[in-house]
Chain A
Amino acid sequence: MAKLTMKKIELAAPLTDSKKIIELLQRRGVVELCSNSEEGLEKTSVSAVTGEFERFRNTASQALDALERYAPEKPGLSDLLGGRIEIEKHDFGKEAMQLEKILNVAAEINRCDKTAADAQAEAAQLEVTCDTLRAWLPLDIPMNFRGTAATTAFIGTLPVQYSEEQLTELLPEGASAEVISGSKEQTNLFIICAKEVAAETEEVLRKNSFVSIAGTDKRTPAEAVEDYAKQRKELLEKAKAAGETIESLAEKRKELRFAVDYLTMRKDKYDALNALGFTGSTFILTGYIPEKYTESIRKEIESRYTAAITFTDPGEDEDVPVLLENSRFSSPVEGITKMYAMPSRADVDPTPVMSFFYYLLFGMMLSDAGYGLVMVIGTVIALKKFKLEESMRKTLTMFRNCGISTVFWGTLFGSWFGDIVQVVGREFFGKEGGSLALWFEPIADPIKLLLFSFGIGILHLFLGVAVAFKMSWDKGKKLDAILDAVPIYLFITGVAPLGASILSEVPAPLMKIGTYMTVAGVVLLLLTAGRTSKSIPGKLFGGLYALYNTATGWLSDILSYSRLLALGLATGSIAGVVNLIGTMPENKIVKLVLLIVVFIVGHTANLAINLLGAYVHTDRLQFVELFSKFYTGGGREFEPLTVNTQYIKFKEENIND
């Protein structure tokens, strides 16, 4: 349980077996390699090979992207949950043989994709040109017309709008202008003038910022537009054809995914070779391996290859990776531990410590049996029906367990989709239903639940202190362990009834015992908390400081558990409001229809909001309140050399052949 013991593995074998051994380790996925920096060993450079794999993989994944754009796959729910396709080992060999063919397909897809993109860009460009030319359509002479023997022609544009009268005034005698088209921003003009006044006309035009469009194009604007439209159509057809080619290759999607994964694996394998040290004819591999796999790996490798394997304990100052393993009850919560930080070398794994309380606190915060049932049913169906990744399976299992706890608390507090049972009874059958609570309804006596929440909180925190106690004890600091835990237990247990008496009645004997325990705890704290200090005043102030810290720290920690009440009440009151809205109309049939709609929409929204709230605040209670008592974290997660695939997965039994 908890953190797995790590061993250091050192393997020496002939060079000829290096790839096969690495491949074996990769498929088992239980060894994390570390770079071998021992002197006297040569390193190998594999960057050329890995670069090649990387390039091939990019080709394949680009092709997949293109496929996704041209022939998108309809995602089903099981895709969303992220299951990978399982593949048999002999299939794997068969597909690997066809790699070249698949890569050719990928190249073909990428080529078509580029053709289509280029054609579309060009077509868009032509469209812009056509738009400009359309303003010139009434001009029925070629665009490169420069005049006749006796005349000079100007074709072009003047900024701002001119009428023909204005232009006649502007231009010298012997020149005439025709407005082809115009807008507020510009006027498109055809001007013809006698050769003698050509220079003068040009001068006038230049002053008014005339821009000539005269080019070498022999076509009239109308002809040009027609030509361009034809070209554009051809380009679009080309793009469409390319797109269709890609679509026709959509059936190769599976093979392409395989290629991406296969190349990733190959690349990882060669990267692993980088970490090895070589002598002339042997290689040396070092890494970390969980102790429980050591014997099976040794047997497997030694039975097939000539190799010398030694397992040693890692040194004190080594950065040993951490792998968690927990019981079926606790392991779903491992994700929460990882979210905070992996345990460091000195830490225990906090997962089994917090798992029970995780489910408990979550259930109290959501605290509606109906919502809990929805969670349980939803997660159980997902777990049964879909092939799930391990991490997703754990998360769903965690929510299933939290759902069970929610049903438990919801039943105690009598909340089933808020008060839907009572509401339906009252509105449709005219019967006043009583409370369904097996214990009590929080809204009827919030103070009772508040005190109960604090009680749960104190137990939760005491568990944290107990773990800290055990950690110190195991390290041999037995006195410290006792002196850190006992005064706090005395103090908090003693103060609890005194604090509770502010809110509610507490029996007198309990108050008396509480007072004695508090005094005992305070005295112990004052006397012992400053024990690390050398001088007498130091010890005294240390004690006072510890007392102050304990009092304020624990006060805020315990009060923090009031969120159990707050979030539970929030779920219940919003659910009640939803039911209230649904039953507002007088007419029974209208009421029934409205209630069904409001029920589905309203409770879905309420469940979503409060699910998130319960998740975040359960995390917070674990991270801030519990972990501060014993946990630091900061370890590095175990990252074995493994088959790191995106789309395919090897069937387990084939891995163990």
Chain B
Amino acid sequence: MTNGMVLAIIGAALAALLAGIGSAKGVGLVGEAASGVVSVDPSKFSKVLILELLPGTQGLYGLLTAILLLSRIGIIGGSPVSLTTEQGIAFLVASLPIAIVGLISGMVQGKTAAAGVGITAKKPDHNGKAIIMAAMVETYAILALLISILMIYNIAV
């Protein structure tokens, strides 16, 4: 295995790792707030569950990026290509947008959604607005995902 291959795999690992950590933190934060609401009114479970899941997508994007990267370099679904060190660094860098933005936006989205749980608790009819506010944060994770995917697909191997 070449150095380039190792670097590319580190990139895939980072994407899954950091974005996953961001989502785990975010979902956890909302879960705590949501449990408080459910303890008072269990019927709000399905509404707060949606809010809790919102910060979960960053982890999914990280996973997706990792899988796409691994399939591009032939670790899954083919035979491994031989990468130069420069190509390896390029793949590593390509995974960084979703890794870092996923990490941070996951946590921040968690905070927003946790605040949104308050809306659901006090004005359950306006639950949709809480969802939208939290979903806004996710836009930037999606942009990062897009850039990561574009880079991964356009690095010449």
- Which residues from 479 to 507 on chain A have a C-beta closer than 8 Å to any C-beta of chain B? 502-503
A590 within 8 A of partner (CB): no
CB–CB A570/B150 < 8 A: no
* Cβ contacts under 8 Å, A620 to chain B: 131-132, 135
Tell me whether A613 and B68 are in contact (CB under 8 A): no
Query: Contact at B135–A624, with CB atoms within 8 Å?
Result: yes
Indicate which residue in A503, A567, A624 contacts B132 across the interface (CB closer than 8 Å): A624
Interface residue from A339, A566, A624, A633 paired with B60 (Cβ < 8 Å):
A566
Determine whether A267 belongs to the interface, using a CB cutoff of 8 Å to chain B: no
Q: Mark B119-157, 1 if CB is under 8 A from A, else 0.
A: 000000111110110011001001101100110010000
Residues of chain B within 8 A (CB-CB) of A214 are: none
Cα separation A560 to B60 with both chains bound (whole Å): 14
Question: Once the chains are docked, how many angstroms separate the CA of A623 from the CA of B139?
Answer: 14
Q: Does A593 interact with chain B (Cβ within 8 Å)? A: no
- A586–B16 Cα gap in the complex (Å)? 30
By beta carbon, the residue of chain B nearest A338 is B125
Q: Tell me, in angstroms, the Cα distance from A189 to B17 when the chains sit together.
A: 67
B33 within 8 Å of A (CB atoms): no
A341 CB-CB contact with B under 8 Å: yes
- Asked whether A560 lies within 8 Å of B142 as measured between CB atoms, the reply is yes
Q: How far is the CA of A503 from the CA of B149 in the complex (A)?
A: 10
Q: Are B146 and A562 in contact (CB under 8 A)?
A: yes
Which of B7-15, B49-57, B86-94, B104-112 lines the interface with chain A? Answer: B49-57
Set of chain B residues within 8 Å of A615, measured between Cβ atoms: 50
Rounded to whole Å, the gap between the CB of A614 and the closest CB of chain B is 11
A569–B56 CA distance with the chains assembled, in angstroms: 16
- Set B56, B68, B142, B150: member contacting A502, Cβ < 8 A: B150
Contact of A447 with B by CB under 8 A: yes
By the criterion CB–CB under 8 Å, are A341 and B125 in contact? Answer: yes
Contact with B along A558-572 (1 / 0, CB 8 A): 011011001101100
Tell me whether B53 and A616 are in contact (CB under 8 A).
yes
Cα A447 to Cα B150 in complex, Å, equals: 9
- Given A341-B126, A503-B153, A624-B132, answer yes or no on A573-B142 (Cβ-Cβ < 8 Å): no
CB distance from B56 to the nearest CB of A (A): 8
Q: Which of A340, A556, A613 contacts B139 (CB 8 A)?
A: A556
Q: By the criterion CB–CB under 8 Å, are A570 and B60 in contact?
A: yes
User: Given the complex of chains A and B, what is the CA–CA distance between A502 and B147 in angstroms?
Assistant: 12
Partner of B128, one of A339, A570, A612: A339
Min CB–CB distance A187 → chain B (angstroms): 46
| C-alpha spacing A576/B63, complex, angstroms | 14
Prevailing SS type, chain A contact patch: helix
Kindly state the separation between the CA atoms of A624 and B142 in the bound complex, as whole angstroms.
14
With contacts A447-B153, A503-B153, A612-B53 taken as known, whether A569 is within 8 angstroms of B142 at the C-beta atoms is no
Cβ of A57 < 8 Å from any Cβ of B? no
Residues in B with CB closer than 8 Å to A612 are 49, 53
Q: Which residues of A contact B128 (CB under 8 A)?
A: 339-341, 623, 633
**B71 sits at the interface (CB 8 A):** yes
Which residue from chain A places its CB closest to the CB of B126 in the assembled complex?
Answer: A341
CB pair A446–B60 under 8 Å, yes or no, is no
Q: Shortest Cβ distance from B9 into chain A, in angstroms?
A: 17
Contact mask for chain B residues 6-39; partner A; CB cutoff 8 A; 1 contact, 0 none: 0000000000000000000000000000000000
Chain B interface main SS type: helix
When distances are taken between beta carbons in the complex, the residues of chain B under 8 Å from A1 are none
Nearest CB in chain B to that of A556: its residue: B139
Interface size range on A against B: 20 to 34
Within 8 A of A (CB), among B38-91: 49-50, 53-54, 56-57, 60-61, 63-64, 67-68, 71, 77
Asked if residues A616 and B77 are in contact (CB atoms below 8 Å), the reply is no
Q: Is the CB of A616 within 8 A of B139?
A: no
Q: How far is the CA of A559 from the CA of B61 in the complex (A)?
A: 13
Whether A349 sits at the interface, judged by CB under 8 Å, is no
Complex alpha-carbon distance, A657 and B49, angstroms = 44
Q: How far is the CA of A569 from the CA of B146 in the complex (A)?
A: 14
Question: What is the CA–CA distance of A566 and B60 in the complex, to the nearest angstrom?
Answer: 8
When the two chains form the complex, which single residue of B54, B60, B77, B126 contacts A567, counting CB atoms closer than 8 Å?
Answer: B60
- The listed residue with most B CB atoms (<10 A of its CB), out of A450, A569, A620, is A620
Whether a CB of chain B sits under 8 angstroms from the CB of A268 is no
Tell yes or no: A510 within 8 A of B by CB. no
Pair A562/B153 contact, Cβ less than 8 Å: no
When C-beta atoms are compared, the residue in chain A nearest to B47 turns out to be A339
B131 touches A619 (CB 8 A): yes
Instruction: Determine if B50 and A619 form an interchain contact, defined as CB atoms under 8 angstroms apart.
Output: yes
Contact of A443 with B77 in the complex, beta carbons under 8 Å: yes
Contact (Cβ within 8 A) B50 A556: no
Nearest CB in chain A: distance from B119 CB, A = 12
A617 at the interface (CB under 8 A from B): yes
A446 touches which one: B68, B126, B132 (CB < 8 A)? Answer: B68
Residues of A within 8 A of B49 (CB): 612
Cβ-closest chain B residue relative to A610: B60
Contact assessment for A613 and B60 in the assembled complex, using a CB-CB cutoff below 8 Å: yes
CA distance A95 to B54 in the complex (A): 49
Residues of B with C-beta under 8 A to A562? 142, 145-146, 149
Contact with B along A345-383 (1 / 0, CB 8 A): 000000000000000000000000000000000000000
Query: Least Cβ distance of A552 to chain B in Å?
Result: 10
Contact A617-B57, Cβ < 8 Å, known A339-B127, A341-B128, A502-B150: yes
Would you call B50 and A616 a contact (CB within 8 A)? Answer: yes
Q: Is A573 a contact of B67 with CB atoms below 8 Å?
A: yes
- Could you tell me if B143 and A559 are in contact, using CB atoms closer than 8 angstroms? yes
| Alpha-carbon separation in the docked complex, A569 to B54 (Å) | 18
Q: Which residue of B lies closest to A342 (CB)?
A: B125
A623 touches B57 (CB 8 A): no
- Chain A hits for B146, CB < 8 A: 559, 562
CB within 8 Å for A566 and B53 given contacts A341-B126, A559-B143, A573-B67: no
Check A450/B149 contact, CB under 8 A, given A341-B125, A559-B142. Answer: yes
- List residues of chain A with CB under 8 Å of any chain B CB: 339-341, 443, 446-447, 450, 502-503, 556, 559-560, 562-563, 566-567, 569-570, 573, 612-613, 615-617, 619-620, 623-624, 633
**3 tightest Cβ-Cβ pairs between the two chains A and B:** A340-B128, A620-B135, A566-B64
Additional A-B contacts beyond A559-B143, A562-B145 (4; CB < 8 A):
A566-B61, A573-B67, A617-B57, A624-B132
User: Can you name 10 A-B residue pairings with CB atoms under 8 Å?
Assistant: A556-B139, A556-B142, A562-B146, A570-B60, A570-B64, A573-B63, A615-B50, A616-B54, A620-B131, A624-B136
